[in-house]
A and B are shown apart, each in its own frame.
Chain A
Amino acid sequence: MERTWSRPGPALDLLLKGGRVVDPGEGIDEVQDVLIRKGKVAELGTSLEAPGGVREVDARGLLVLPGFVDLHTHLRTPGREDEEDLDTGTRAAAAGGYVAVFGMANTDPVVDTAALLSGLVDRARREAVVPAGFFAAVSRGLAGEQLTEMAELAEVGAVGFSDDGQPLATAQLVRRALQYVKLTDRFVAVHAEDASLVRDGHMHEGAVSARLGLGGMPSIAESIDVQRVLEVAAYEDGRVHLCHLSAAASLEHLERAKKAGVRVTAEATPHHLTMTDDEVASLESTLKMNPPLREESDRAALVKALKSGLVDCVATDHAPHAPEEKDVPFEEAPFGTTGLETAFAALYTGLVKKRALPLGTLVARMSAGPAAIAGIAPPAVRAGARADLCVVDPEAVWTVARDGFQSRSSNSAWLGRKLTGRVRLTVAAGRLAWEADA
């Protein structure tokens, strides 16, 4: 059953010469040539020759990695194509080394019917540079009242179900969703938040919000809902995925649930893994997101959980916004930062280079980890596998700039920051999806 779709293109022939192949799933971390023929990895070896007519890329000093998978992308289509569409969103994905992305359902209109989802699938077949898949809503119109036709939506190809952008309003809705989703082999992805605790909130509640006078969003707003959802999941033996965890207390609930055998997976974003609420003192609206950047103790706990595998994967929560929406006072700005094009570099700079996370673990959490949750074949640098990989220059130092994005939007939390590590080339579904200017 297909869960991603992309536009057709010529199957790639390419020889990557002398790169360091790091694929923890295959147990590889060594310099290898990688020959791609007709869109598949044909061969790995140490002194491969390019067959006639096959282009050779000098990958010496570069990393060759299984391509990344993003379980949490806002592609803004349908409805806000001025912010992102399937073409620009998947170009951004390709530029970030991603070979599959999954769009959230909180579009306008909401993806809550099979007809709408089919339309998106058709558009992805025409427009997506990198295979794109889609979540469908849990509740019609995200209204929190009536479940969507999950079985039919799954048949069309929904990867899972989510009312992301807002929490599931009642415990009854959580329960019914986790019961009903068993009509499919999919899962429910939850934006955990107690809405009553974040009213008038603009940032994490703590010493920084106290000093700035900004309304606080306490970490318990997340952890209380995480606990509620996990209790229901345990009771119903439902399969649940926790989106963008940010609070240390949430991780404690997650650990207990996993130990008890609850079928739960979880993701963390590059911004929560590398930044804290101290950054918000600048009142830059690009640093306003939900859940908010939290304290160093939360960030450290999140990194530890990603390392141990308690948190299964990295997800960007790529949230494009039009400039006129973000170019306003902090308190009036919408939540969200873009993330596809900076995810690997941000985590490589913030975690791997600082020896907080091994490179292989980061690759696993960005590639095989999310692929397993989505139910797609894990990207692998393995002879015979479809070519889904990226080539990264681990020494490239670059400054994130407003005019440097493939995404239609530039509301990046990393604007003006210097990052190390840049994706040079991405092969997705056997086709060349991205190649940086030399």
Chain B
Amino acid sequence: MTLPFLKRLRPENYLSLVALVVLFILSSLASPYFLQVQNLLNILKQVSYSGIIGLGMAFVIIGGGIDLSVGSMTAFIGAIAILVVNALGGGPWAITAAWLVALALGVGAGLFNGAVVTKGRVAPFIVTLGTMAIFRSLTLYIGNAGQFVSQSDLYGNMGMSSLLGVPTAVLVFFGLAFLLSGLLNRTRYGRYACAVGSNEKVARYSAINVDRIRLLTYVITGAMVAVTGVLLSSRLNSVNSSNGAVNFEMDAIAAVVIGGTPMTGGRGTIWGVVIGAIILGMINNMLNMLSVSAYLQGTVKGLVIIAAVFIQRGSSKAARS
């Protein structure tokens, strides 16, 4: 039974898993505190927010694009969600409404990004660089560069909630990973997304609606951003307009790449994103435990991303020759 599964494993798929295991062992040797359940859950919780966005980002990257706007979009959607909760009195209905508004905004923003990329033929990097600036600026403008604070305890409770000790955000992260992994590997849409990213012309000649497939990758990402926006703003029960969800685009892209999805698109893995996100979280955790300055964590993260891509390049080259 396990044999066909093993045969399907390619270096780019298991390298990240190996890295995770090695890192796990190293961390547990470095500090006895690491293996405590609370610490492990903390790591998972910390990585879930940008990780959820990474799940959508994987589709964008597989389809041959990039989305830089996700960080400021998260702040924007989180802020609007809080405004909706406050405006409607903070009860369960207000929270439901906030969810719906957030999802609508996320999908709408994704449609905008995707439409300009596909119909407008503008490079994804530029389009989303633009929307990145737009969403941050709108958030700052609406919030007067200050803090959006929710007046609903219920909303804050939702963000802090957990099931059998596992934080909600972690459950949502894994649940969505399961769903999107199915979407990527078990549906026509997923296959087409890979085809479009692998060779657009072949996809077009194969009667695939290239623009629609690509547009949807941005919509999926927008929806994931909405989920993260609500979860994140409810966890803190507030959103800071200037530094809320800042650098999330970096974390999401890093999780995708470390997980083994090549930036050139054409293929990828959703569970790799989960692994990539956890690797990033574990590295941060270890640096904290070794009391390395928080300011240096970005340096380490940057090096890890570069190293991950470098190793993948080497392994795919070896596999080809």
A and B: real partners? no
